[in-house]
């Protein structure tokens, strides 16, 4: 792409990712957890041992938390800061994709692959979500990209430099998510070097990256080993081997069938999956070129080995498959470009016309239903997406703008411009997603505003109030109330390990709650379970929002006694 189109395709994703991370509240459970742990690091000044609710939390190493804590230092304790590392890591991953494409001698392939990556559904969802998968994927892709540079470099001193960069990426990936940082690159590189008939390099290439990665990780590894001797037993045995073999971690069940990632991959690569016939045509005409290009063999090596590895593991989450998307992006982009070079535009026009016809009914129907409800109030509640005070014109406008750009792509005769118009059209909807989510769909998974409004006034300035929460809302209560002394009522969940480490007083059940009530000590219970809310003895005051409950006891009596 040339001229203004190239700069738009570069700058537009920056606005797309960094412009959306502030538009919605934090979601349960991951965003609350990965915001609270860095907040507690800042509040306590303890940067070595991860803690959640003031208790040890050894699910992952520390670097991902450091990134979020650094963003909080810059932007404050707000949702945008929690998501900032994910958004930046996704953009940097696209930059590495472009550089690798340039290394392969095809700028168009690098640009197209970066665009396919950034405009894929799962990449955008994770890249604007406050979890550690996007930073880990970036460090992993940095490792693989530098390794690819090293494998294609003729000068030994440059090759050593690229291997050092690979080691830095591997070390940071290890500090973000653990031993997958070593296992995944090893599997992919061994497969690739055997395919390249360079199997002897298997015994020479790894040494520099491994030494550099060890040097990067060693300071924290040594300190945490001295401060928390039990960290490695919990992290390696429970969070790695036990979860991979049985699917059961320290506090959750992630068992899924072998084929779990097939629909995840198909859905995550949307909307590009719709262009699969075009990709196939591009490959059919260039089969020999496909087997001749090292970059495509490199991409296939990553995709196959990593996909099989994640599928064999019993513990699965949809976000685990994210590291495969740079490889998928290169494979899709190659097929699209080769089809475009052959002048085969029929595939694009059919897909675009289909999308326009299907999507046209959505904004029209949404406008009619919401407007009729706004002025008559006679529409059944189940059919109404937005409340009276919510703006439903943003998603309608975004979908209309998307269809306009799709129509421009249909009328365009050059494949490159079709690709450009299609990405711009997608961008309008992606920009609108986070600021147009109906509150009825997110209120149960975004409890921060409810807790700040209802629970926080009850405890501000009152050290005598005991705060309890169930396992699903423990991290949310800590974040919303800015406390790290929340008692866990009922099942322990993700707090099980921390509660087992001399924190028995933080574990509450019905009997201890009844004793607290009999002593007329003030307390509040934050829960998503109506059953737990009913267990609180009367008299009590209960406030509900959807499935969220805040139950208060003895607060009024305590105030009267002052």
> Is the per-residue pLDDT at 557 higher than 70?
no
- 90-112 pLDDT, tens per residue? 999 999 999 999 888 777 889 89
Q: How far apart are the first and last CA of the chain?
A: 72
Per-residue pLDDT at 489: 93
Q: What is the mean pLDDT of the chain?
A: 88
- 198-231 pLDDT, tens per residue? 888 888 889 999 999 999 999 999 999 999 988 9
Q: What mean pLDDT is predicted for residues 314-329?
A: 92
pLDDT band for 538, please (50, 70, 90 cuts).
confident
How far, in Å, are 63, 67, 313, 359 from residue 493 at the CA level? 24, 25, 22, 42
Per-residue pLDDT at 360: 86
Q: What mean pLDDT is predicted for residues 291-297?
A: 86
Per-residue pLDDT at 70: 96
- 50-105 pLDDT, tens per residue? 999 999 999 899 999 999 999 999 999 999 999 999 999 999 999 999 999 988 87
Q: What are phi and psi of 355, to 5 degrees?
A: -65, -40
Residue 533 and residue 555 in contact, taking contact as beta carbons nearer than 8 Å: no
- 374-432 pLDDT, tens per residue? 888 788 878 888 887 788 888 999 999 999 998 888 887 777 788 888 888 999 999 99
Q: Is 381 exposed, middle or buried (0-12, 13-18, 19+ CB in 10 A)?
A: exposed
Per-residue pLDDT at 154: 85
Q: Minimal CA–CA distance to 506: which of 552, 559, 468?
A: 468
Q: What mean pLDDT is predicted for residues 277-288?
A: 78
Percent of the chain with pLDDT over 90: 51
Per-residue pLDDT at 31: 94
Per-residue pLDDT at 559: 43
- 154-200 pLDDT, tens per residue? 888 999 999 999 999 999 999 999 999 999 999 999 999 999 888 88
pLDDT band for 117, please (50, 70, 90 cuts).
very high
Give bridge partners of residue 507 from the DSSP assignment: 488
Cα(60)–Cα(165) distance, rounded to whole angstroms? 23
pLDDT band for 250, please (50, 70, 90 cuts).
low
Per-residue pLDDT at 560: 38
Per-residue pLDDT at 251: 62
| Residue 349 tokens, joined | 């026009």
**Domain layout of the chain by residue ranges:** 3-22+78-341, 346-437, 448-561
Please spell the DSSP secondary structure of 451-509, one letter per residue. HHHHTHHHHTT-TT-EEEE-TTTHHHHHHHHT-S-PEEES--GGGHHHHHTT-GGGEE-
Q: What is residue 467's three-state secondary structure?
A: strand
- 462-485 pLDDT, tens per residue? 888 999 999 999 999 999 999 999
Regarding pTM above 0.85, the answer is: yes
pLDDT band for 558, please (50, 70, 90 cuts).
very low
Host H or E run for residue 527: strand 523-527
């Amino acid at each position: 792409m040339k001229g203004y189109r190239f700069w738009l395709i570069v700058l537009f994703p920056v606005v797309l990712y960094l412009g959306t991370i502030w538009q919605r509240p934090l979601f349960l459970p991951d965003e609350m957890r990965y915001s609270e742990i860095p907040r507690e690091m800042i509040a306590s000044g303890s940067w070595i041992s991860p803690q959640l609710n003031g208790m040890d939390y050894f699910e992952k190493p520390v670097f991902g938390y450091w990134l979020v804590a650094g963003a909080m230092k810059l932007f404050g304790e707000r949702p945008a800061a929690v998501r900032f590392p994910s958004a930046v890591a996704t953009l940097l991953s696209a930059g590495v994709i472009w550089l690798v494409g340039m290394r392969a001698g095809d700028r168009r392939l690098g640009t197209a692959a970066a665009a396919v990556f950034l405009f894929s559904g799962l990449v955008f969802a994770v890249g604007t979500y406050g979890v550690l998968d996007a930073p880990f994927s970036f460090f992993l892709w940095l490792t693989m990209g530098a390794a690819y540079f090293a494998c294609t470099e003729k000068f030994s001193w440059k090759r050593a430099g690229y291997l050092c960069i690979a080691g830095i990426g591997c070390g940071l990936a290890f500090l973000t998510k653990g031993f997958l940082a070593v296992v995944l690159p090893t599997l992919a590189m061994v497969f690739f070097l055997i395919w390249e008939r360079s199997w002897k390099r298997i015994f020479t290439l790894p040494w520099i990256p491994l030494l550099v990665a060890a040097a990067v990780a060693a300071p924290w590894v040594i300190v945490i080993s001295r401060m928390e001797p039990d960290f490695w037993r919990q992290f390696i045995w429970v969070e790695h081997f036990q979860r991979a073999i049985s699917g059961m971690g320290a506090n959750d069940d992630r068992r899924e069938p072998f084929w779990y990632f097939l629909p995840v991959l198909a859905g995550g690569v949307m909307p590009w999956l719709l262009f699969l016939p075009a990709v196939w045509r591009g490959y059919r005409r260039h089969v020999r070129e496909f087997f001749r290009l090292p970059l495509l063999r490199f991409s296939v090596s990553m995709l196959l080995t990593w996909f099989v590895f994640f599928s064999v593991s019993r513990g699965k989450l949809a976000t685990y498959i994210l590291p495969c998307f740079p490889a998928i992006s290169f494979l899709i982009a190659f097929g699209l470009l080769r089809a475009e070079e052959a002048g085969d535009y029929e595939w694009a026009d059919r897909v675009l016309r289909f999308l326009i016809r299907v999507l046209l009914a959505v904004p029209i129907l949404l406008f009619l239903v919401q407007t009729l409800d706004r002025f008559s109030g006679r529409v059944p509640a189940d059919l109404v997406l937005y409340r009276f005070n919510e703006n439903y014109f943003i998603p309608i406008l975004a979908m209309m703008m998307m269809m306009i750009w799709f129509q421009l792509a249909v009328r365009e005769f050059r494949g490159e411009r079709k690709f450009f118009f299609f990405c711009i059209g997608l961008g309008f909807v992606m920009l609108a997603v986070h600021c147009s989510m109906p509150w009825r769909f997110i209120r149960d998974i975004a409890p921060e505003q409810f807790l700040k409004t209802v629970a926080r006034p009850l405890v501000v300035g009152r050290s005598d109030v005991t705060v309890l929460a169930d396992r699903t809302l423990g991290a949310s209560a800590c974040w919303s109330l800015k406390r790290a002394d929340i008692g866990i009522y009922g099942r322990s969940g993700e707090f099980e390990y921390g509660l087992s480490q001399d924190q028995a007083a933080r574990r509450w059940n019905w009997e201890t709650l009844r004793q607290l009530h009999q002593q007329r000590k003030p307390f509040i219970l934050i829960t998503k379970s109506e059953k737990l809310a009913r267990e609180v003895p009367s008299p009590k005051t209960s406030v509900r929002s959807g499935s969220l409950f805040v139950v208060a006891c003895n607060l009024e009596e305590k105030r009267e006694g002052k």
